[in-house]
């Protein structure tokens, strides 16, 4: 599993296509992922056409990977298929609620991540777009997602045309807690973040952005309170629109 | 990656412990998973003590794996650590909202699934407990999770003491859509669910439960509207309690 250790997000792809038989095999193998009650509460929309990539791009802030990748995959929390199955089988489904959204989102994200691991094991490169939940209604409209289907993850996929440096990660002490959650203190922050803050690339990042600290890049520029609150409203609106909230 | 194809959830474990060095290695390797803005919005609480397993068990409906496994791992959406980092670095964090919960839950679930794949590659067995989001406040209290930390996944982990039959999966036609979401119709339900419904184990499941259809086991017994709606309220309450909702 060395490829997991060596992974990096890939944003530039060669002209080589991703063979559809390979894509099908990986999507099918990923179906072995655990799933709630074996209901498989997910679906994936495969985008290959230039026209559809253009339609998806604005929802992802026109990040160039969306139109530059041979394949874009949108993973969706999907209680629509299971609900239709119930209706056709004399069963009365009760999945138009928030818990059911979380169950389906969980299924979709686990499935997505198994797919990512399998794809990277094949040598494919991918980039996960966190923007999927930023303007979900735009994606819902573009992909014609029915009731009880909400996009939760997008990846752009192709054969790597770059080999970027690996980004840093926090030491495991930041992530692991034993028996109960250990308090986060100035001392633990120092222990867990000092190395990250001292990295030349992160110091350069601070310089370019003109902030005093690395943390301010996140709070003041990349992920601001104002954007987060506006997009929280948009996400709730999407959940209501798709029938997961009353 | 044959182990992905051969995987099954494992609920019974041998007496052999899961070495802590191995656990650390796998948790650390999984940190390579893509994460939002490289913030790693997750944490994992490791439960080994019998007392803590007993305390967690009721939140998981006393499923026997919780007390029977050598290790229980609770994966949490965690904006607490990042928020404390911001505060200590003169940055004003704005992550007490629903979008930030979804971002952190996504990070935590992707991290969890990479960990699961790595653990299974080592021959470990695990069972994913969907119950984590059913009564999150009980888990929050037991594990002393601070503000902006919400559990989203639990796995029980150990060396397999069983080799159960694999469960069925839907054909890929159920899951994959091309360019836009293809309508679910009586014909597609028949195409995608007929084989599942015809399986001897599923027919037996229907017989034992005394329902007319397999779908009714889900709607009337396992995942009822009443339970889903009550647990949706509990999940919202937990998000408010932990500061992700006003």
Q: CA-to-CA distance for B121 and A162, rounded, in angstroms?
A: 28
pLDDT digits (tens, 9 = 90+) for A133-142: 999 999 999 9
- Nearest chain A residue to B149 by CA distance is A181
Residues of chain B with C-beta less than 8 angstroms from the C-beta of A106: 109, 130, 133, 152-153
How confident is the prediction for chain B on average, in pLDDT?
A: 98
Q: Cα(first)–Cα(last) distance of chain B, in Å?
A: 44
DSSP state of B13: B
Q: How confident is the model at residue B1 (pLDDT cuts 50, 70, 90)?
A: confident
Helices (H), A38-79: 50-56, 65-68
Distance of alpha carbon B135 from the chain centroid? 13
Query: Average pLDDT for residues B36-55, to the nearest whole number?
Result: 98
What Å distances lie between residue A175 and A172, B97, B197, CA to CA? 5, 22, 43
DSSP state of B157: E
Shortest distance, CA A231 to any CA of chain B (angstroms): 6
Domain boundaries, chain A: 2-165
pLDDT digits (tens, 9 = 90+) for B63-83: 999 999 999 999 999 999 999
Contact B133, B105 (CB under 8 A): no
Q: In what order do the strands lie in the sheet with B149-158?
A: A176-178, B42-47, B71-78, B149-158, B125-129
The CATH topology of domain A2-165 is NADH Oxidase (3.40.109)
Smallest Cβ–Cβ distance between A144 and the set B86, B113, B180 belongs to: B180
Check pLDDT > 90 for residue B140. yes
Enter the pTM of the model: 0.98
Parallel, antiparallel or unpaired: strands A149-158 and B71-78: unpaired
Smallest Cβ–Cβ distance between A172 and the set B28, B97, B102 belongs to: B28
Can you give A172-218 as a three-state secondary structure string?
A: HHHHEEECCCCCCCHHHHHHHHHHHHHCHHHHHHHHHHCCCCHHHHH
Can you give A100-162 as a three-state secondary structure string?
A: HHHHHHHHHHHHHHHHHHHHHHCCCEEEEEHHHHCCHHHHHHHCCCCCCEEEEEEEEEECECC
What Å distances lie between residue A188 and A173, A194, A205, B77, B81, CA to CA? 9, 10, 23, 19, 10
Residues of chain A with C-beta less than 8 angstroms from the C-beta of B183: 146
Residues of chain B with C-beta less than 8 angstroms from the C-beta of A167: 38
What are the φ and ψ backbone dihedral angles of B70, each rounded to 5 degrees? -65, -30
Would you state the structure tokens that stand for residue A172, as one six-digit string? Answer: 């495991």
- Nearest chain B residue to A2 by CA distance is B29
Check pLDDT > 90 for residue B205. yes
Q: What is the mean pLDDT of each run of 10 residues along chain A (246 residues)?
A: 93 98 98 98 98 98 98 99 98 98 98 98 97 98 98 98 97 98 98 98 96 98 97 98 96
User: ipTM score of the complex?
Assistant: 0.98
Would you state the structure tokens that stand for residue B87, as one six-digit string? Answer: 């505060």
Q: Which of B108, B169, B116 is nearest to B3 (CA)?
A: B116
């Amino acid at each position: 599993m060395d490829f997991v250790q060596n992974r990096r997000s890939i944003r530039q792809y060669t002209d080589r296509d991703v063979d559809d038989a390979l894509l099908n095999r990986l999507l099918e193998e990923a179906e072995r992922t655990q799933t709630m009650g074996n209901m498989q509460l997910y679906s994936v929309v495969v985008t290959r056409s230039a026209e559809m990539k253009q339609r998806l791009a604005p929802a992802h802030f026109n990040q160039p990977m969306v139109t530059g990748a041979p394949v874009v995959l949108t993973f969706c929390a999907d209680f629509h298929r299971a609900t239709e199955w119930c209706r056709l089988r004399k069963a009365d489904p009760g999945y138009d609620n928030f818990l059911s959204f979380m169950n389906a989102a969980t299924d979709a994200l686990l499935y997505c991540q198994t797919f990512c691991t399998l794809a990277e094991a094949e040598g494919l490169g991918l980039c996960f777009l966190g923007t999927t939940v930023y303007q979900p209604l735009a994606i819902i409209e573009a992909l014609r997602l029915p009731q009880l289907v909400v996009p939760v993850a997008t990846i752009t996929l192709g054969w790597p045309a770059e080999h970027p440096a690996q980004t840093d990660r926090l030491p495991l002490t930041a992530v692991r807690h034993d028996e109960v959650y250990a308090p986060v203190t100035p001392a633990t922050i120092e222990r867990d973040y000092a190395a990250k803050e001292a990295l030349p690339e992160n110091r350069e990042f601070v310089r370019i952005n003109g902030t005093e600290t690395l943390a301010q890049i996140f709070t003041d520029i990349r992920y601001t309170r104002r954007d987060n609150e506006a997009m929280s409203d948009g996400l709730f609106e999407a959940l209501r629109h798709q029938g997961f909230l009353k």
